[in-house]
Structures are given as C-alpha cells and as structure tokens.
C-alpha cells in the first residue's frame, strides 16, 4: 500500500504561551501543507527507509537499530525532565523526530513487520511558529494508522501526538496538533471540549520575519522562569482571547484589530518579541485599518520571530520591502490532516 497524507500549518490568533497555563487559545489552520508519503511491503525484511526532502537527507535502518536510537532519545528526554540539560539536547538531528514518532506508535499499536518507506516534505516556512513539528507528527501518525487499518479516536491520536511533541518542545500544550487535526478556526483550552468557530473571512496576511533564533521549547522555558502559573498576566491573555473570539463571531473588524494589538502588547510584556519585530509591527499599526502580532511562540534572542499575522484590507508591501520581509495572503484551511490511498493492496 502507498499513501499520501497532507497536514496544514497553524497560526495562533491568541493564547501564545498562555495555553500552557490553562488559558484559552484561538488557533487557525492555514493552507501551507506538509506532505507525508508512506509505502509498506509486508513481504520484505523489516526495514525502514526515511527521506527528509527539506534537509536533503536519506536514512535506512533495520528494526533493531532504529529502536535502539529511539531509546537513546528517550533517555535524553528523561534527563531533560530531571533538569539535566535543555530541551534542545533531546532531538539532536532532524531524523530524531521521525524515530520518536515510529517508536511511540510501535509501543502503542505495534508497528507491522516489513519494509516501510517514508518521505516527508514540509512547507517552505519551518521554524516560524506554524506548528511544523505537529504537522510532521500528525501526517506520519495518520499514515501509519491508515496502513494498519486502525480505528483510533481523535482523543487517543491527539494524546499520542502531544506526548511525541513534548520531546520537541518540552511542554506541549496540545494546541498545535489539535488545530492541525481539526482544521479551520477553533477555541482550545485544557480540560474543555474543542470549540469550532466560524471564520467569516476577514482579510489578512502572513509576514515572514525569519527563523526564530530560539526554539519554541526555549521560549516556553524562558517565559516559565519569569511568569508562574498564577501570574495575573495569564488572565489578561484570557480576556483578550475572549474579545478576539467575540470580534470574529460578530464580524467586528475594529474590535478585532484592537484586540490583536492588545495581544501583541502582552507578548511584548512576556519578552518573546525581538526589538526589530516590535519596530516593524509599530510601523504596520500606523497604517489605516491595520493591526499585527506574532502568531507563534516568538523568540527570546536574536532579531527574528517567525510569522507575523497582519489584519489589513491592503497588502503591507511597502513596509515589508523596507524590512526585507516576504509576505503572502492568509489562506484558511478548513480541513485538517487527511490521507489519500495512492496504491491499494487489493
């Protein structure tokens, strides 16, 4: 059998970092696809071939070897949990995330013995706060589920994805895999049902300020050192998230832009927006009917912060050209991760 699974990217309208502490977040799937092609031949000896197109890497592992490598990764994660080293010591190479996915799936559902061939290609903007890791995780998990004809609930699939994502980010809130699984616009909060929301088609733009100098995990760690679980700033995030949701539901553009600006101010307060990006957003906010914010974890060092969401009827071309930033129209993906069967066993 051969399958092709596609997973959208995601942006956060509100709730960055705050969702880790129990606050709600608003997440939107966007049309930047990660592709995962998987083929399986049960007659061949147990073997895994993995091609990572974005890194121009090809790997091949017999079953005992990849499982041994996965055990080493888990050992590094347990050391991180004991505060021996940072989260960046866990996954040391791009292939490590794929090995972790295979290992956790194998422990949960027993991977079929045979020849697996995996080819993964992300969208052109990894490490920009678009949920690239979650897209890889879910596209591969969905592929494996399809190949093994498993009946797995979304709840169980998300729990597995969140466990795997914690090896990448240290403390997974779960909002990225939830958004990528469901698609569209949704409200996410721990221990509450996911609430799909109408998008109503507001006009926006995604602006690439570049790869953040620090990872999502490092940003989460830095914020956690300064702002504890009971800090009042998380209630401020909750309040602004509620206002953004109301503005979206009532199609109130002015209220939406005002609340987006308030969210940006809170992100600056927790220290995840570099000064260059602060200056850039200040210039954007001077334009008529325009408001902007970073739509991912941001960065705690360097001058780039990943993607910026700009709500505006007009393309921010002149300012982006001044800063050397690429921009594109915001395209919502109403569908979450999905798989096609390219070749059947029948």
pLDDT score at 322: 97
**Lowest-confidence region among 135-139, 163-167, 171-175, 327-331:** 171-175
Q: Report percent pLDDT > 70 for the chain.
A: 100
**pLDDT above 70 for 250:** yes
Q: How much is the average pLDDT of 220-225?
A: 89
* Nearest Cα to Cα of residue 109 among 160, 60, 44: 160
Residue 246 predicted with pLDDT over 80: yes
Query: For residue 346, what pLDDT band results from cuts at 50, 70 and 90?
Result: low
Residue 48 CB contacts under 8 Å (≥ 6 apart), including other chains: 60, 61, 63, 66, 102, 115, 116, 117, 118
Place of tokens 């393309």: 315
pLDDT digits (tens, 9 = 90+) for 24-42: 999 999 999 999 999 999 9
Judged by average pLDDT, the poorest of 67-76, 209-218, 238-247, 276-285 is 209-218
User: According to the model, what pLDDT value does residue 44 have?
Assistant: 84
> Nearest 5°: phi and psi at 293?
-160, 155
pLDDT digits (tens, 9 = 90+) for 1-19: 999 999 999 999 999 899 9
pLDDT of residue 75: 95
pLDDT in the model for residue 30: 97
- pLDDT exceeds 70 at position 325: yes
d(CA 49, CA 51): 7
pLDDT given at position 169: 82
How far is 233 from 254, CA to CA, in rounded Å? 24
Query: Per-residue b/e over 273-307, b at no fewer than 16 CB within 10 Å?
Result: bbeebeebbebbbebeebbbbbbbbbbbeeebbbb
Which of 261, 268, 196, 228 shows the shortest CA–CA distance to 27?
196
Choose the weakest-confidence range: 66-75, 214-223, 249-258, 311-320.
214-223
Show the tokens assigned to 127: 């490490």
- What is the C-alpha separation between 164 and 133, in angstroms, rounded? 10
- The answer to whether residue 91 scores a pLDDT higher than 70 is yes
In the chain the domains, ranked by start, together with CATH numbers, are 2-195+333-343 (3.30.230.10), 201-329 (3.30.70.890)
- Do the beta carbons of residue 132 and residue 176 sit within 8 Å? no
| Residue 170 in this model has a pLDDT that exceeds 90 | no
pLDDT of the residue at 100: 97
What is the CA angle 144-147-153, rounded to 5?
60
Asked whether the predicted pLDDT for residue 200 surpasses 80, the reply is no
Mean pLDDT computed over every residue of the chain: 94
């Amino acid at each position: 059998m051969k399958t092709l699974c596609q997973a959208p990217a995601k942006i956060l309208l509100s709730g960055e970092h705050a969702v880790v502490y129990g606050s709600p977040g608003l997440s939107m799937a966007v049309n930047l696809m990660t592709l995962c092609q998987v083929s399986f031949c049960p007659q061949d000896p147990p073997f895994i071939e993995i091609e990572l197109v974005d890194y121009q890497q090809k790997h091949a592992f017999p079953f005992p070897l990849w499982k041994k490598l996965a055990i080493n990764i888990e050992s590094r994660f347990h050391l991180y949990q004991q505060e021996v080293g940072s989260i960046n010591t866990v996954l040391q190479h791009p292939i490590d995330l794929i090995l972790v996915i295979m290992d956790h799936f194998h422990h949960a559902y027993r991977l079929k013995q045979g020849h697996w061939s995996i080819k993964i290609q992300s969208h052109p903007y990894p490490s920009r706060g678009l949920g690239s890791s979650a897209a890889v995780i879910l596209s591969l998990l969905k592929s494996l589920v399809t190949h093994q004809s498993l009946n797995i609930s979304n709840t169980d699939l998300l729990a597995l994805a969140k466990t795997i994502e914690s090896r990448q980010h240290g403390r997974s809130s779960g909002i990225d895999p939830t958004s990528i699984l469901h698609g569209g616009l949704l409200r996410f909060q721990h221990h509450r049902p996911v609430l799909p929301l109408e998008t109503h088609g507001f006009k926006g733009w995604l602006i690439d300020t570049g790869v953040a100098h620090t990872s999502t995990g490092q940003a989460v760690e830095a914020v956690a050192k300064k702002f504890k679980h009971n800090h009042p700033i998380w209630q401020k995030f909750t309040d602004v998230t509620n206002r953004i949701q109301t503005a979206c539901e009532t199609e109130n553009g002015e209220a939406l832009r005002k609340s987006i600006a308030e969210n940006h101010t809170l992100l600056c307060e927790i220290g995840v927006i570099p000064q260059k990006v602060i200056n850039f957003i200040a210039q954007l906010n001077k334009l008529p009917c325009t408001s902007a914010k970073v739509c991912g974890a941001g960065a705690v060092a360097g001058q780039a912060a990943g993607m910026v969401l700009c709500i505006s009827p007009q393309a921010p071309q002149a300012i982006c050209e001044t800063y050397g930033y690429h921009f594109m129209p915001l395209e919502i993906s109403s569908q979450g991760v999905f798989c096609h069967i390219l070749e059947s066993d029948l």
